[in-house]
Structure 1
Amino acid sequence: MDFIFLIASSIMILTCLYFIISPFFTGKEGKLTEANTGEDTFTLEAIYGAVNELEMDYLMKKISEADYTSLKEQYQLLAAGMMKQGQTKKKQSNTKRGSDKVELEILAELQKLRKQKGR
């Protein structure tokens, strides 16, 4: 009976050692660095979440007021810059749409004139 417990415990110990040591020998180092490079792009939701957490930390007295104000200003400037970029992209797409509409109207008028001259 002791022999069965000895075999079962040795299998369990070897399994635990395998799960502890195996991450050191897998080739996932490159994947981790690739995942970290994507963190440079932020979304507005992520910035708002960071400001919210920053405010909670300040209210819980985890950070000083000077750190809170400086970090909050940095996040607000970052969000404002992203919003400006979004507005300029929208304006460019709106002007493109407007110019497309104008071109279609001009083409329609030209077709009408051609049909009238052809009569």
Structure 2
Amino acid sequence: MHDISIISMIFTAALALICLYLILAPIFKWNTIIQLNSKDQDLETTKESLLTTLNEIEFEYKMDKISPADYKNLKRQYEAEVAKIMKEEEKLVDSSIDKELMAEVEKEIEAQLKSYGKQKGEGK
């Protein structure tokens, strides 16, 4: 009887540790994922607000609320900011794409296009 209680205590402790691990492990993994996604979301949010501001500036210019010189200056400034953000987004996308995989995919596409072209030529 004494042996059963020791085995059950060990089993219960192991089960509790496994449950604790399963509960806490995702918290630490999600933290890094959230940080990566938050940077992407920050860039996207900033870009959207800049584009909205550009639309508002254009609307105000068409309503004759701002001068042509102010319109050109503001438009140039905001477009430069949007371009900078788009370059950052492009760098993030380029870094996440596996270059070797993309080269392999492009080779397969070219091979399929060649075989399709040969089939089209035979059908004529």
Q: Does the alignment reach a TM-score above 0.5? A: no
- Larger-gyration structure (1/2): 1
What's the TM-score, normalizing by structure 2?
A: 0.43
What's the TM-score, normalizing by structure 1?
A: 0.45
1 or 2 for the larger relative contact order (CA 8 Å, sep ≥6)? Answer: 2
